[in-house]
């Protein structure tokens, strides 16, 4: 037997992890990386048999060199261990590698670990098992379902709405949530209400109350407060003439329990609220924490696997946590009985919740190792985990009722009696303001006021709120949340403005069309059913073909009907106008395209005049000439914002839109033009870039600063600002 054959080969996804595993496993082990997926459905065809529903896989073009290297390296080993991530995707990666490398003289084993630490890797290598084909089938079923929807329906969108669009089994349902929320906001009718506030005083202590009851009927909150000024004035009139007394002071202690340890969705939502991190940033930082940092000369993972929807914690981790709490805060801080949490229905229990790999690595000890963002997320995870085994917090809640005539006001306050778990995780314990010590008896009315307010609609989804809603409705899985949102933004179906997701015009039209033609496929309930079905496949209770057939049968029927209605649908997407083409004089048509509605010449293809629907009728920009052929330029709207294009269909020259302000850099002869950043944000830069790198985020104003003489100013929300002297201009 050769020297290499006496060793064991481990194949893992990441080259960074490969180095760590090699150092942990030591002599007798070699480790190589596959760099993620090596095989998938073909790129240029559907790759799924329409009768058997069986997939056909090919080596990814970018991975041919990697696969060739893996085959060459593996040929020298008898024992090969596959160690991709411990989830369905990881299991599938292992199976694909096995299918490419399998040989009669080789033994293949599967290694699964939930954290990258020496003990976890050693234990996993000693407990290697077979590839779980049920998990592989679940991943294949999901992949095939997504491929069937994408490849069957997306071409329909190209023929009806615009090229480059796509439909997705989960993606379109997530977009539907955003569109439906937008419609609810636009159709919302505000209702007037008049909350009434009263300030009272007893023995020198002042406290504020809200109207609670009027003539025996509840009146607190926007639902019960007086709906008109006349009714509010009536309450005020009676209140001013009444004699007031505190009729009851009700004090109760309430227990607050800590929340469960983080799962993927709760981590993303909480990081968004507390740390202002988007879900994608949160997962990128969590990935770093999982893969590890160098501690005492050894790379060590700091948290467990971050793609999970289970709140389960392994017993050794719980015991270690409880021992840490006892040593640091004393036995009285430890919850007497081990606190366990129940995962939501449909959660996969393949691996643990997100927790620190070693509770003794406190955030204080990690300050010298982690940068601020990694430290903040690690601290949040560590605090949440430790809090799970600490005693409940005790909150004293006081409710005071003040009565006069037919009017009752209420005041409520809270204070912390026992901090409990909030010693380590105070962000979990939110309490209202405290009210002074009061007793039943007379009080003096100090102030009385009513303010007109209007009910507000639900807010648009933030990225984190959409993740939370997807989790709640069982749309997608932890590994897909970030990629789904990224796809919606990439396809310009949604736009992120003020940290909220706004559906674009093309997003709304696409959603309406898909829901109308494929109501069963893009239904929230049906999508959730498919997720449950995939879970049954993963547990061996359903077959791959049963799962895929449940999607394919209604898909095929809906697609057949949609194709029959294609002429009708296409005709409905075009609207005649009374405006003539400024280039050839033929009538313009209103059409829908990839970037929304636009006007196009009915003389196409001989005349290619187009312009966005919301742009002014003067589509030709007469004061800007094409640098290539000297003809007029057209203002157009593209994926990355506005731009100028030559009006001659034979000329392909384009350029950014000038804003009429010269570059302020001394000696530069350029002018400022509109540009769009990689993240889709509008900015303004010099037309002579890269020779001149001057750029600014805010819109420039062609006006000299009266203070310092700087040649331009900028437009801000609060007014006009000078970027040179850094002051607002009156």
Catalytic residues: 305
Contact (Cβ atoms closer than 8 angstroms) between residue 4 and residue 77: yes
Handedness of CA 471, 477, 482, 483 (dihedral sign): negative
Cis peptide before 403 (omega within 30 of 0): no
- The Cα–Cα gap between 569 and 321 comes to 61
Q: Which helix (H) or strand (E) holds 251?
A: strand 245-256
Which residue(s) pair with 699 in the sheet? 715
Token pair, residue 512, equals: 């309406």
Phi-psi sector, 709: left (phi>0), alpha (psi -120 to 50), beta:
left
Identify how many contiguous H helices and E strands the chain contains and give both numbers.
Answer: 19, 36
For residue 606, give the nearest of 638, 634, 583 by alpha carbon: 583
List Cβ<8 Å contacts ≥24 apart for 334-339.
334/389, 334/390, 334/391, 335/389, 335/390, 335/391, 335/392, 338/389, 339/257, 339/258, 339/388, 339/389
- The Cα–Cα gap between 81 and 124 comes to 11
- The Cα–Cα gap between 366 and 369 comes to 5
Q: Name residue, tokens 């909030």.
A: 422
Token pair, residue 91, equals: 């299991």
User: What is residue 397's three-state secondary structure?
Assistant: strand
Phi, psi angles (nearest 5°) of residue 629: -125, 0
Contact (Cβ atoms closer than 8 angstroms) between residue 475 and residue 527: yes
Pairing of strands 79-82, 107-110: parallel
- The Cα–Cα gap between 132 and 136 comes to 7
């Amino acid at each position: 037997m050769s020297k290499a054959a006496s060793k064991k080969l481990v194949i893992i996804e990441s080259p960074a992890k490969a180095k760590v595993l090699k150092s942990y496993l030591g002599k007798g082990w070699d480790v190589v990386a596959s760099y993620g997926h090596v095989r998938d459905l073909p790129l240029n065809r559907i790759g799924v048999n329409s009768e058997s529903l069986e997939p056909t896989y090919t080596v990814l073009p970018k991975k041919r060199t990697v696969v060739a290297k893996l085959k060459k390296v593996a040929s020298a080993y008898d024992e090969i261990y596959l160690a991709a991530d411990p989830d369905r995707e990881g299991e599938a990666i292992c199976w694909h590698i096995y299918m490419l490398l399998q040989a009669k003289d080789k033994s293949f084993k599967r290694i699964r670990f939930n954290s990258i630490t020496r003990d976890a890797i050693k234990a996993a290598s000693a407990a290697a098992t077979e590839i779980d084909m049920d998990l592989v089938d679940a991943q294949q079923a999901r992949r095939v379902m997504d491929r069937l929807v994408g490849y069957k329906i997306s071409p329909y969108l190209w023929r009806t709405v615009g090229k480059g669009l796509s439909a997705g089994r989960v993606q379109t349902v997530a977009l539907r949530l955003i569109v439906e929320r937008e419609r609810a906001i636009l159709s919302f009718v505000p209702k007037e209400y008049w909350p009434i506030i009263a300030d009272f005083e007893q023995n020198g202590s002042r406290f504020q109350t809200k109207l609670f009851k009027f003539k025996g009927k509840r009146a607190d909150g926007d639902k019960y407060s007086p709906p008109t000024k006349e009714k509010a004035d009536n309450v005020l009139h009676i209140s001013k003439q009444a004699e007031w007394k505190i009729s009851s002071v009700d004090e109760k202690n309430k227990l607050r329990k800590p929340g469960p340890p983080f799962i993927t969705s709760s981590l993303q939502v909480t990081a968004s609220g507390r740390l202002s991190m988007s879900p994608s940033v949160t997962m990128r930082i969590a990935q770093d924490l999982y893969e590890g940092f160098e501690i005492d000369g050894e790379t060590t993972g700091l948290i467990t696997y971050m793609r999970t929807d289970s709140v389960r914690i392994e017993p050794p981790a719980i015991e270690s946590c409880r021992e840490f709490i006892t040593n640091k805060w004393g036995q009285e801080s430890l919850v007497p009985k081990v606190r366990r949490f129940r995962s939501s229905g449909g959660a996969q229990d393949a691996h643990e919740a997100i927790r620190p790999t070693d509770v003794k690595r406190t955030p204080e000890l990690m300050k010298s190792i982690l940068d601020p963002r990694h430290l903040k997320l690690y601290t949040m995870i560590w605090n949440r985990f430790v809090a799970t085994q600490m005693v409940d917090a005790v909150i004293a809640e006081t409710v005071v009722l003040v009565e006069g005539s037919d009017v009752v006001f209420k005041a409520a306050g809270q204070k912390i009696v026992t901090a409990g778990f909030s010693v380590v995780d105070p962000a979990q314990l939110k309490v209202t303001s405290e009210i002074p010590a009061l007793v039943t008896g007379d009080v003096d009315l100090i102030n009385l006021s009513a303010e007109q307010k209007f009910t507000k609609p639900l807010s648009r989804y933030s990225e984190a709120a959409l993740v939370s809603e997807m989790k709640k409705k069982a749309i997608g899985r932890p590994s897909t949340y970030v990629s789904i949102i990224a796809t919606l933004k990439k396809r310009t179906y949604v736009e992120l403005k003020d940290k909220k997701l706004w559906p674009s015009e093309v997003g709304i039209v696409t959603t309406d069309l898909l829901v109308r033609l494929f109501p069963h496929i893009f239904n929230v309930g049906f999508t959730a059913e498919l997720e449950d079905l995939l879970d049954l496949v993963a547990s061996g209770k359903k077959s791959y073909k049963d799962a895929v057939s449940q999607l394919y049968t209604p898909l095929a029927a809906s697609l057949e009907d949609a194709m029959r209605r294609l002429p009708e649908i296409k005709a409905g997407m075009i609207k005649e106008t009374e405006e003539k083409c400024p280039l050839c004089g033929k009538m313009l048509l209103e059409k829908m395209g990839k970037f929304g509605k636009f006007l196009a010449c009915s003389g196409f293809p001989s005349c290619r005049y187009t312009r966005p629907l919301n742009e002014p009728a003067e589509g030709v920009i007469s004061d800007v000439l094409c640098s290539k052929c000297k003809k007029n330029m057209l203002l157009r709207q593209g994926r990355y914002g506005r731009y100028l294009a030559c009006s001659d269909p034979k000329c392909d020259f384009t350029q950014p839109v000038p804003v009429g302000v010269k570059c302020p850099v001394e000696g530069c002869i350029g002018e400022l033009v509109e540009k769009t950043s990689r993240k889709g944000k509008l900015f303004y830069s010099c037309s002579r870039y890269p020779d001149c790198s001057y750029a600014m985020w805010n819109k420039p104003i062609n006006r000299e600063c009266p203070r310092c003489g700087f040649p331009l100013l900028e437009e801000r929300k609060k007014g006009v600002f000078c970027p040179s002297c850094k002051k607002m201009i009156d």
